[in-house]
A and B are shown apart, each in its own frame.
Chain A
Amino acid sequence: MNLRRLFAIVMKELRQMRRDRITLAMIVGIPVMQLVLFGYAINLNLRGLDTGIADLSNTAASRALVMDMVATGVIDPAVSATSPQQLMEGLRRGEISIGVVIPPDFERRRFEGREAVQVLVDGSDTVVQSAAVQLAQLPLNTQPRTNASTAGAVGQTGPGQVSVVSFYNPQRRSAINIVPGLIGVILTMTMVLFTGVAIVRERERGNMELLIATPLSSSELMIGKVLPYAAIGLIQTTVILVLGVWLFDVPIRGSLLDVYLAAVLLILANLTLGLLISTKAQSQFQAMQMTFFVFLPSILLSGFMFPFAGMPKVVQWLAEILPLTHFLRLIRGIMLRGAGLFELWPDVLALLAFIMVMMALAISRFRKRLD
């Protein structure tokens, strides 16, 4: 490893990047755009959902319950119905997103500790779903079955008196996880893509034939290519954190240093993966296809979209291979639960192992040969 040659590659990359406006725009544009898009979806789920209410009991207690629900601001009582069927009809037509059914025997059910209220949810929209879950957490002398750990309801009577029935999509997710997770998603997308394309572009334009005919070594070339993008990854992380805190009040309960260390681990994991892709792809288009091949499972299986615990064992093993899975555990632990990076050492180790294996594979696969 010769530092002068390594530095030459890094300088060259930075100079080229500076002149590549589209890449420059993507570096900041992608995080800002995604964050704002996802971020406002988070905001939406707390306000004014069109709701149909079928109060079949119509007692003082049931009317008080409805008023409590409306007072949260989550629902907006748009339709008043006389039967659960009417509500389901409204859901199907999209007139309402949530239906609240209070059965005629509401008082007795409540007294007996059985399910007293049913909330019908348009589960095809996950944002609506999480709002409904919050609705079910209202301290109505009840404790929701689905979220037993929620602090507010502790000490109240009877489990499962408000039940949430989700139509069309049995999954549930929690909105608070999105912004920390988004750091991982954006880094996964941009880092793999940037490095994958960076080397293949060199091959497409014919620069590679020049480079491999010089004394430059494989590791100098690979590491020199990766370093500038690692810096970009840190810039992106910063953009997301600043916007996340400023626009959406996302908490950073752990140390900021730990957040960045975790980000560095994910960045390196993705960059080395990108390098491996670049040794295989013949064209920039192929590199992009392969990036998507990694990106989709990352988003779907890592726990960003769907809860990890709910997946079949085989899929979980698969997800354990993906760097994003480990990063999500780290970043949620650090930012939301205030954990220290090294308390979460299994995931740190997993990421380190991933980086080592990918780098070794990439360097051994890269030949200073054309055949």
Chain B
Amino acid sequence: MNAQVAPDTAGDLAIRARGLTKRFGQLVAVNHVNLSVPRANVYGFLGPNGSGKTTTIRMLCGLLTPTEGDVEVLGLRIPEQAEELRRRIGYMTQKFSLFEDLTVRENLEFLAAVQDIPRAQAAKRIDELVEQYHFADRQKQLAGTMSGGQKQRLALAGAVIQKPELLFLDEPTSAVDPESRRDFWEKLFDLADAGTTILVSTHYMDEAERCHRIAILDRGVLVADGTPDELTHALAGRTLEVMADQPRRAQKVLLDVPGVLSVAQIGNALRVLNDANGDAAARVKKALDDAGLEADVSASTPNLEDVFVSSTRGRDHAQDAGTPEKAA
């Protein structure tokens, strides 16, 4: 599935990884992942908890040594040239990692110094960030006393203080309310517009949909990779909507139909995702009729959640036969 990689003219790629693997003892956290991230893109990493997103990001910015594989980030070989890379990237950790017992301004001053921003420019840059990230009236507030959304904004401001070419964001919005999330994504697109490449991991579908390209990770394996449009179009004809009088019963029946990958209830409707074999609509209709259930079956447009379910559930069926129920 990860076939549509641009031929190896690495110039327009910010990240290029081949066969990237990380083992922790017996556990294979990341399993032969191939990755190509174009410059000035917002590239999304979608996957449930424990799918290897954080491990992959840590390897890409040189904090973890890969067990196997070749990695090139901004033209630098990683992990060998990780020290050089650190000057050119920003990294926002999953857990808030600024100092809770320093104020907003003290945190930014510290980062500016550590990132080698000359003293004269540092004050200007900090003023600029304070303005852009709405901290004008909170400069003297301790970071630990701020809300989740404010902390995350401060963390982003800290990660971009040295104007990095490449920004790694590890589940930046996991502890944040919806409005803060929207603001946050506006900021990301501003940065991408200015030429920053952004690699962001998430487990929110709506965030994944905003990305220029996404990669789906499942238990350490890259199971899908492309633009959201490419990925959803590939599922055309495989998603159905079923309107039934007794949706719970209908769901039970449908889960046993061969070729049905998942059945999710959305309000009164059931959303049925099928594998690629034959005429799914006819099969589903027949199964419902046989069970004596009144139902309307119609085609529906695939979305990213369907992509996610089909690429992860397909592997489930192959490995451990038929654990039913909904996608993450």
Which of A's residues lie within 8 Å of B, judged by CB? 2, 4-5, 7-9, 11-12, 15-16, 19-20, 205-207, 209-216, 368-371
Q: Is the CB of A16 within 8 A of B91?
A: no
Given A209-B97, A210-B93, the answer on whether A215 and B116 have CB atoms closer than 8 Å is yes
- B68 proximity list for chain A (CB < 8 A): none
Residues of B contacting A: mostly: loop
Q: Is the CB of B96 within 8 A of A206?
A: yes
Q: Is the CB of B98 within 8 A of A207?
A: yes
Cβ contact of B110, chosen from A8, A209, A369, A371, cutoff 8 A: A8
- A9 proximity list for chain B (CB < 8 A): 114
Cβ contact of A5, chosen from B79, B116, B158, cutoff 8 A: B116
| Interface assignment of B328: CB less than 8 Å from any CB of chain A | no
Kindly provide the distance from the CB of A209 to the nearest chain B CB, expressed in whole angstroms.
Answer: 5
Q: Is the CB of A215 within 8 A of B87?
A: yes
Mask for B111-155, Cβ within 8 A of A = 1, else 0? 101111001000000000000000000000010000000000000
| Interface assignment of B40: CB less than 8 Å from any CB of chain A | no
- B96 proximity list for chain A (CB < 8 A): 206
Q: Is the CB of A206 within 8 A of B93?
A: yes
Q: A87–B255 Cα gap in the complex (Å)?
A: 93
Given A4-B116, A205-B100, A206-B97, the answer on whether A370 and B63 have CB atoms closer than 8 Å is yes
Q: Is the CB of B115 within 8 A of A206?
A: no
Can you list 21 A-B contacts (CB < 8 A)? A2-B116, A4-B113, A4-B116, A7-B113, A8-B110, A9-B114, A12-B99, A15-B102, A16-B99, A206-B93, A206-B95, A206-B97, A207-B97, A209-B97, A210-B93, A211-B114, A213-B91, A214-B111, A215-B114, A368-B63, A370-B63
Cβ contact of B114, chosen from A8, A205, A206, A368, cutoff 8 A: A8
- B65 proximity list for chain A (CB < 8 A): 369, 371
- B158 proximity list for chain A (CB < 8 A): 210
Given A209-B97, A210-B97, A213-B91, the answer on whether A5 and B64 have CB atoms closer than 8 Å is no
Q: Is the CB of B119 within 8 A of A214?
A: no
Given A4-B119, A207-B97, the answer on whether A214 and B114 have CB atoms closer than 8 Å is yes
- B63, closest chain A residue (CB): A370
Kindly provide the distance from the CB of A21 to the nearest chain B CB, expressed in whole angstroms.
Answer: 11
- A19 proximity list for chain B (CB < 8 A): 101, 142
Q: A7–B114 Cα gap in the complex (Å)?
A: 9
- B82, closest chain A residue (CB): A368
Q: A212–B64 Cα gap in the complex (Å)?
A: 11
Cβ contact of B63, chosen from A5, A205, A369, cutoff 8 A: A369
Kindly provide the distance from the CB of B54 to the nearest chain A CB, expressed in whole angstroms.
Answer: 10
| Interface assignment of B106: CB less than 8 Å from any CB of chain A | yes
- A212 proximity list for chain B (CB < 8 A): 63
> Quick one: which of B48-84 are within 8 Å of A by CB?
58, 61-65, 79, 82-83
Given A5-B113, A7-B113, A215-B115, the answer on whether A370 and B64 have CB atoms closer than 8 Å is yes
Q: Is the CB of A207 within 8 A of B63?
A: no
Q: Is the CB of B110 within 8 A of A11?
A: yes
- B99 proximity list for chain A (CB < 8 A): 12, 16, 207
| Interface assignment of B86: CB less than 8 Å from any CB of chain A | yes
Q: A211–B91 Cα gap in the complex (Å)?
A: 10
Q: Other than A206-B93, A371-B65, give 17 A-B pairs with Cβ distance below 8 A.
A: A8-B109, A12-B110, A206-B96, A207-B98, A209-B93, A209-B97, A210-B91, A210-B97, A212-B63, A213-B61, A213-B63, A213-B91, A214-B86, A214-B114, A215-B83, A215-B114, A370-B63
Q: Is the CB of B97 within 8 A of A12?
A: no
- B82 proximity list for chain A (CB < 8 A): 368
Q: A368–B64 Cα gap in the complex (Å)?
A: 9
Q: Is the CB of B102 within 8 A of A12?
A: yes
Cβ contact of B113, chosen from A8, A210, A213, A368, cutoff 8 A: A8
Q: A344–B82 Cα gap in the complex (Å)?
A: 47
Q: A371–B30 Cα gap in the complex (Å)?
A: 15
Q: Is the CB of A216 within 8 A of B114?
A: yes
- A214 proximity list for chain B (CB < 8 A): 86, 111, 114-115
Q: Is the CB of A16 within 8 A of B114?
A: no
Kindly provide the distance from the CB of B198 to the nearest chain A CB, expressed in whole angstroms.
Answer: 16
Q: A336–B99 Cα gap in the complex (Å)?
A: 46
Given A15-B106, A213-B91, the answer on whether A369 and B97 have CB atoms closer than 8 Å is no
- A7 proximity list for chain B (CB < 8 A): 113
Q: Is the CB of A213 within 8 A of B86?
A: yes
Q: Is the CB of A209 within 8 A of B63?
A: yes
Kindly provide the distance from the CB of B2 to the nearest chain A CB, expressed in whole angstroms.
Answer: 25
- B63 proximity list for chain A (CB < 8 A): 209, 212-213, 368-370
- A208, closest chain B residue (CB): B97
- A16 proximity list for chain B (CB < 8 A): 99, 101-102
- B111 proximity list for chain A (CB < 8 A): 214
Q: Is the CB of A20 within 8 A of B101?
A: yes
Q: A2–B117 Cα gap in the complex (Å)?
A: 12
Q: A12–B116 Cα gap in the complex (Å)?
A: 16
Q: A4–B95 Cα gap in the complex (Å)?
A: 27
- B91 proximity list for chain A (CB < 8 A): 209-210, 213
Kindly provide the distance from the CB of A249 to the nearest chain B CB, expressed in whole angstroms.
Answer: 42
Q: A308–B109 Cα gap in the complex (Å)?
A: 51
- A221, closest chain B residue (CB): B114
- B118, closest chain A residue (CB): A4
Kindly provide the distance from the CB of B95 to the nearest chain A CB, expressed in whole angstroms.
Answer: 4
> Quick one: which of B151-209 are within 8 Å of A by CB?
158
Q: Is the CB of B58 within 8 A of A370?
A: yes
Q: A206–B99 Cα gap in the complex (Å)?
A: 9
Q: A213–B142 Cα gap in the complex (Å)?
A: 23
Q: A206–B98 Cα gap in the complex (Å)?
A: 8
Kindly provide the distance from the CB of B87 to the nearest chain A CB, expressed in whole angstroms.
Answer: 5
